[in-house]
Structure 1
């Protein structure tokens, strides 16, 4: 589910930012880098969720168009 990807992505972004700030404040370069990486991974996950939404919407749209085309053909043959 794309919403799940969006939520988990935001959680990772926020957690990553917190780690990054903690790393800066404590002068811990490793923690800062981990935070940046986690934040970027969260952003990527959110973008993946957006892409999944768009694909699902497109697939649903194509399905609806195909059903409409089949219904139109059926109505033509009934005449």
Structure 2
């Protein structure tokens, strides 16, 4: 559902409705968010990340209006590029 662009909360709500409530799911909303983040991180290859950082650094040299930043989690895994 995530790959189809459906929001995580909507997926959780749909699944809980299908099984008759949150108590029947066997996992929590936080478990769903953690799983989605883990899957996203697994798709990011180190080479891809380094290539993007290199590209952004070069762009920032050529264009002083270009700004970028990265967001990492507590384990220093990449979460977002801004």
User: Structure 1-normalised TM-score?
Assistant: 0.32
TM-score by length of 2: 0.31
| More contact order relative to length (CA 8 Å, sep ≥ 6) | 1
| Structure with the larger helix share | 1
**More strand, by proportion:** 2
